[in-house]
Structure 1
Amino acid sequence: MHHVVAKLDALDPEAGAAIRVISRFDELVEGHAGLGPVLAAVATLSGSPARLVDERFGVALRADLDGRVERDAGPIDPRWIGAPLIPGGLPALWLERVGRHSLIEAMVLDRAAFAAREVLHRTRDASGRSAGPFSDDPAAVEVLLDSGASESDRLCAARLLHLPEGATLRAVAAADGAGQIVAAARSDTDCTARARRWEGLGRTGIGPAVPLLDLPRSWDLARTALRFAAEDTDEDPGPGIVLFEELGTLALLADALDPASPPADVRALEKAARSGPWVLRTLAEFTSHTSLRLAAAALYVHHSTLKGRITAIEQDLGFPVHDPQGRLRLQLALAARRLLLHPPAPSAVRQAGRSGWGTPLPGGSG
């Protein structure tokens, strides 16, 4: 296909672009992509922000030029370029610009309408179609995690994924914005078992175990937990996998911080970090172990070396960290800094990932 497109580009650039449009939406349909990725493709391929509004299904989404998708209930300008999802229907797909559409834009809207129609017919009850044998359907995952979807639509999506209504499940948020659904396990709160279960997933936030219809709440809380998860680098040290229920009162910080005005203790951390690449990791290990010796072992240094490092860091921080009050202050500052490093993602499910139901996760099922 790449060779064909390259040859067409040389002969007729518009024809080459048309083939790329067709290929992109064919990939999305074949991969059972959700509405988010479909609308993101409209925006990136057309070079214009795009909307998908369908009152039949309670869908109102907007994609910006970078392909970020979020829920949007703003008014539609009837002068915008629009296209129906079904022939003869009212416009439901829109490009946020006024004027005549180009040939490529017309093709983008046509192929996107087909792709969106397939998603809605497969995952929403209003279509009247029965659930098919899709045991691993990203679009169905997207519906199950969407608080704006109706209960009947979410039950329809659950049938597509072969999820029993009585199941207890967790929503899982990955760093790339993808969502997953996994069966809750008793071992989730055991550190060793959890490490095996979630190994290899990178930065991950895990929502609380909930009944099937409460998955949108678990998804929202999983995305909050993701903000507390670290890259585990010198610049961003800390745990890469965070369960929301283990945050406790700390979760309140997520809504309390103003990115435009970092707390004084976070600014002090940044100042201290300029002393060396080891500073932030030293503090992260110091606050996550019950003794200086255990923290030193995790850092592969002698405990007397660590004690000297902490004393030097305290001078830059401007407050002591050995006493309980100072240690708590440092823990809060590290958590606040991590939240500022990882701002909240757009409100809608940007890209639904693989369903973990019935499929062992990397490292075993736990």
Structure 2
Amino acid sequence: MRELVGRLEALDPDAGAALRVITFFDQLIERRAGLENVVRGAAVLSGHPAVLVDTDRGVRIRVTPDGTRTELTPSEPQAGWCRLTVDSHITVWLEHPGPPGPVEAMVMERAAMSARTILDRTRGRARPQPRHDAELVEVLLDAAASVEDRSHAAKRLRLKPSELARVVAEFDGPLHVGTTSPESDSRAGVGPAVPLLELPKTVAAARAAAQFTAQGTPTDPGPRIVYAEELGGLILLAAAADAPPDTLPDIAAVERAAATAPWMLPTLDALASGGSLRTAAAALKVHHSTLQERTTQAERLLGWPLRDHPGRVRLTVALMLRRLHRNKAQAS
């Protein structure tokens, strides 16, 4: 092969160089080399810094022509740089103004294809399901679909029949199916873990749980991820979101209290979530005596005690009802 490349380069330098590029990347795949070696090869062969980005899997690699891996700056290619994208989420670019020459084009093409081969072999997909599989998810969650159709959809989604799965309902967003918990920065309701063919029965529970989520901010404290099974009978409160807020006086009491100070809502949330005043104080990072004073003020504004179990249960329900009504208003 080396002799053939040499002869071809003597007759046609570009063709010879292209064959050398193809041979180089084929050998990397044969040796089961890693991604960094692929990007390093692209940089050395092209003579320009090379970058590989896979947005689905969170891969970001930059290597300079001397073979050194460096920080990826800038994070996006500049206008006019040579670049190639495959499968909509894998991009290789050279930090060099385009259009690419024959050798540069071949380097990017072979590097991108080699990277895709390695990524598919070693990492799979970082997400439980690709976004373009929404139609398959719809079939899997359709109780009216046949068992054969739902089983086929599960197979296409790479879900194993032996695993339990959950429906994940994004707040005011689409449904997903996965065997792992959603990412911590998500805002979603999660249905119970069940066999794949029983998932349609849990869609309503996942959507109801999503109504109990919050932004997790001082003005909207609460969990960003809510599991339906952890709500128990409280999930029935979701039906109360259809009732006018003025028919639920405890919501109005919470709103009046929240308007008095920026710390009021986080304090009420901590009191409802904590097992004791000391636990709530630790969560808020305030002194126990400070929380005592805040609790006294909150009790006066709400109109019921917060230092006993019944009072905290009432507060918990009031906060959940408030969250349900706010979420319904945001979704509409």
The CA deviation at 1:203 is: 1.3
Report which of the two structures shows the higher radius of gyration computed on alpha carbons: 2
**CA displacement, residues 112-136 of structure 1 (integer Å, 9 cap, x when unaligned):** xxxxxxxxxxxxxxxxxxxxxxx74
**Counterpart in the other structure of 2:308:** 323
Q: Is the 8 A contact 1:269 1:317 kept in 2?
A: yes
**CA displacement, residues 152-180 of structure 1 (integer Å, 9 cap, x when unaligned):** 33222112113233431111111241222
1:181 aligns with 2:184: no
**Counterpart in the other structure of 1:256:** 240
The CA deviation at 1:145 is: 2.1
Residue type of the partner of 1:149? A
Q: Is the 8 A contact 2:168 2:188 kept in 1?
A: yes
- The correspondence of residues 215-234 of structure 1 with structure 2, limited to 5 A, is 215-234=199-218
> Whole-Å Cα distance in 2 between the matches of residues 150 and 177 of structure 1?
26
SS of the counterpart of 1:247? Answer: helix
TM-score normalised per structure 1: 0.51
SS of the counterpart of 2:297? Answer: helix
**Counterpart in the other structure of 2:282:** 297
Cα root mean square deviation, aligned? 2.3
The CA deviation at 1:148 is: 4.1
- The correspondence of residues 192-341 of structure 1 with structure 2, limited to 5 A, is 197-262=181-246, 263-341=248-326
Residue type of the partner of 1:178? P
> Whole-Å Cα distance in 2 between the matches of residues 314 and 297 of structure 1?
20
Q: Is the 8 A contact 2:241 2:328 kept in 1?
A: no
Hey, which of these two has a bigger chunk of helix by percent?
2
Structure-2 change in CA distance of 1:227 and 1:207 (3 Å): same
> Whole-Å Cα distance in 1 between the matches of residues 186 and 194 of structure 2?
23
Q: Is the 8 A contact 2:305 2:311 kept in 1?
A: yes
Q: Is the 8 A contact 1:174 1:201 kept in 2?
A: no
Structure-2 change in CA distance of 1:334 and 1:213 (3 Å): same
> Whole-Å Cα distance in 2 between the matches of residues 203 and 249 of structure 1?
22
**CA displacement, residues 169-218 of structure 1 (integer Å, 9 cap, x when unaligned):** 1111112412221116xxxxxxxxxxxx5443321111001111111222
Q: Is the 8 A contact 1:158 1:164 kept in 2?
A: yes
**Counterpart in the other structure of 1:155:** 151
Identity of aligned residues (%): 47
> Whole-Å Cα distance in 1 between the matches of residues 301 and 144 of structure 2?
48
SS of the counterpart of 1:228? Answer: coil
Any unmatched runs of 5+ in structure 1?
1-29, 32-134, 185-196, 347-366
**CA displacement, residues 88-134 of structure 1 (integer Å, 9 cap, x when unaligned):** xxxxxxxxxxxxxxxxxxxxxxxxxxxxxxxxxxxxxxxxxxxxxxx
Higher alpha-carbon deviation: 266-275 or 252-261: 252-261
SS of the counterpart of 1:210? Answer: coil
Residue type of the partner of 2:174? A
Residue type of the partner of 1:183? T
Q: Is the 8 A contact 1:205 1:225 kept in 2?
A: yes
Q: Is the 8 A contact 2:167 2:190 kept in 1?
A: yes
Give the number of equivalent residue pairs: 202
> Whole-Å Cα distance in 2 between the matches of residues 341 and 179 of structure 1?
21
> Whole-Å Cα distance in 1 between the matches of residues 165 and 205 of structure 2?
13
TM-score normalised per structure 2: 0.56
> Whole-Å Cα distance in 1 between the matches of residues 326 and 193 of structure 2?
27
